[in-house]
């Protein structure tokens, strides 16, 4: 937790063709955490830096002014952004040399999105557990086989190294860093100022089951998926779904698998699991109540589904991602803000 007079220097590292949102999202989080009464010391000092300084053209064409890294000192937290220029940046000897030379004096070293490639190229991630944008996880693992790449976590913390997933996950990272410094209540306050719907924890998935279905579906089952999501506690066997879709069970099962790449039973379980995860994160309903509401019938069936798909039981999942205690009162960490 932060003492009243501590001011932490947060430095964002950019490069040509960096993604602007990778910078502006987390930067705004720290900026909003600096809202203080007049005359008070701001908790953060913010700097945007690059290998040589000056104007840096981002991938959108907008330019940002940066300071040269060689003139930056007293860094508490370093955040390397991502973007289409990241692989060129990962070959920049000036940038990599500065990172390698100064990493030992920096309390926290972080990346947003594909910025992980720069940290890895500088030799700062050896034997670490990390994450990057879901579309670059395989490339990162292939290029740096000594890393353990999480397939789709929002962010990962491994000692002093914090890495985050794609684009807007940089905001989740900033909120986690602010919470680490200044506490849960301040992170929630900043999340509200950002109008962030959900303050997501690190181990949560980068995208939801409904989003994955929308990506795979050609539109023919969109209405059915919405109906399933609203009736998870009902009979959702193939026969019932086929009747809903006005098809024979055999035709429905064949066509559904062809269009979505999943069996109906698998999708039903995924939607039930997704709903149960959200309930564990956002509410204080009992596990038994959640199991019934989400169509698992009983706690044991839900527990088996959690163990099979997520590797944890519902109680442990809630302990990690559910409501947090703060100041003697319970705050819903995952509730809509």
Per residue in 128-178, pLDDT tens? 999 999 889 999 999 999 999 987 788 899 999 999 998 788 998 999 999
Q: Do residues 167 and 254 both lie within one domain?
A: no
φ, ψ dihedrals at 237, nearest 5°: -70, 165
Residues 94 and 118 in one domain: yes
Same domain, 254 and 134: no
Tell me whether residue 248 is in a domain: yes
Number of other residues whose CB lies within 10 A of the CB of residue 291 = 24
Same domain, 314 and 186: no
Task: Report the pLDDT value the prediction gives residue 333, as an integer from 0 to 100.
Answer: 35
Instruction: List residues bridging with 180 in a β-sheet.
Output: none
Question: Do residues 264 and 174 both lie within one domain?
Answer: no
119 and 241 inside one domain: no
pLDDT score recorded for residue 281: 80
Name the phi and psi angles at 109, rounded to 5: -120, 125
Asked whether residue 204 is domain-assigned, the answer is: no
Q: Which CATH number does the domain housing residue 183 bear?
A: 3.40.50.880
Q: Are residues 20 and 127 in the same domain?
A: yes
Residues 19 and 155 occupy one common structural domain: yes
Q: Which residues pair with 91 in a beta bridge?
A: none
Whether 328 maps to a domain, the answer reads: no
**CA 48, CA 331: separation in Å to the nearest integer?**
34
Strand partners, 158: 161
Residue-level pLDDT at 131:
93
**Domains in the chain: how many in total?**
2
In a domain, residue 199? The reply is no
Q: What is the pLDDT of residue 209?
A: 62
Q: Which residues of the chain have pLDDT under 50?
A: 1-3, 324-337
Find all residues with CB under 8 Å of 61, minimum gap 6, and list them.
none
Q: Are residues 238 and 303 part of one domain? A: yes
The DSSP string of 10-54 is EEEE--TT--HHHHHHHHHHHHHTT---TTSPPSEEEEEEESS-E
| 238 and 170 both lie in a single domain | no
Q: What is the pLDDT at residue 336?
A: 32
Domain span at 246: 209-321
Of 160, 193, 226, the position where a domain reaches its end is 193
Find all residues with CB under 8 Å of 23, minimum gap 6, and list them.
12, 14, 48, 58, 64, 81, 112
Contact between 8 and 46 under an 8 Å Cβ cutoff? The reply is no
Residue 130 lies in a domain: yes
């Amino acid at each position: 937790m932060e003492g009243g007079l501590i001011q932490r220097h947060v430095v964002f590292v950019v490069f040509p063709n960096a993604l602007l949102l990778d910078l502006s999202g987390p930067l705004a989080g720290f900026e909003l955490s600096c809202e203080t009464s007049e005359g008070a010391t701001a908790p953060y000092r913010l700097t945007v830096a690059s290998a040589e300084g000056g104007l840096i053209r981002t991938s959108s064409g907008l330019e940002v002014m940066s300071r040269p890294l060689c003139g930056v000192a007293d860094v508490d937290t370093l955040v390397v952004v991502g973007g289409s220029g990241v692989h060129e940046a990962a070959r920049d000897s000036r940038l990599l040399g500065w990172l390698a030379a100064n990493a030992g004096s920096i309390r926290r070293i972080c990346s947003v999105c594909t910025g992980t490639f720069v940290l890895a190229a500088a030799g700062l991630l050896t034997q670490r557990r990390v994450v990057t944008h879901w579309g670059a996880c395989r490339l990162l693992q292939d290029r740096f086989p000594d890393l353990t790449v999480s397939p789709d976590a929002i962010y990962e913390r491994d000692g002093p190294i914090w890495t985050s997933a794609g684009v807007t996950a940089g905001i989740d990272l900033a909120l986690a860093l602010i919470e680490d410094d200044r506490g849960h209540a301040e992170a929630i306050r900043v999340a509200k100022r950002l109008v962030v719907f959900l303050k997501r924890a690190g181990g949560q998935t980068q995208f939801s089951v409904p989003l994955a279905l929308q990506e795979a579906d050609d539109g023919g089952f969109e209405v059915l998926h919405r109906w399933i999501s609203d009736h998870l506690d009902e009979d959702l066997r193939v026969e019932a779904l086929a009747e809903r879709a006005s098809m024979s069970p055999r035709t429905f099962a064949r066509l559904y698998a062809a269009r979505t790449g999943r069996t109906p039973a698998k999708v039903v379980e995924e939607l039930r699991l997704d709903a149960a995860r959200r309930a564990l994160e956002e509410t204080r309903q009992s596990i038994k109540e959640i199991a019934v509401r989400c169509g698992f019938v009983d706690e044991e069936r839900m527990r088996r589904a959690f163990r099979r798909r997520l590797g944890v039981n519902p109680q442990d999942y809630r302990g990690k991602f559910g409501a947090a205690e703060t100041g003697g009162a319970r705050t819903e960490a995952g509730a809509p803000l």
